Amino acid sequence: ILVVDKPADTPIHPSIGNYENTLANGIAWYFEQKGEPFVYRCINRLDRDTTGLIVLAKHALSAAVLSQAMRSREIHRTYQAFALGETAASGTIDAPIARLNGSLIQRTVDFASGEPSVTHYRTLAHCSVFSHLELNLETGRTHQIRVHMAYIGHPLLGDTLYNKTPGTFPRQALHSASLSFVHPITGEPLNFHAPLPEDMQNLLT
Specify whether the CB–CB gap between 144 and 89 falls below 8 A: no
Contacts for 11 with CB less than 8 Å, ≥ 6 apart: 18, 21, 22, 23, 48
Contacts for 107 with CB less than 8 Å, ≥ 6 apart: 97, 98, 99, 100, 141, 142, 143, 144, 147
Whether the CA torsion 32, 35, 41, 44 is positive or negative: it is negative
Active-site annotation holder among 9, 47, 49, 159: 47
Specify whether the CB–CB gap between 10 and 23 falls below 8 A: yes
3-class state of residue 150 by DSSP: helix
Separation of CA 148 from chain center = 13
3-class state of residue 125 by DSSP: strand
State phi, psi for 69 to the nearest 5 degrees: -60, -35
Active site residue 47: yes
3-class state of residue 102 by DSSP: coil
Looking at the annotation, which residues are catalytic?
47
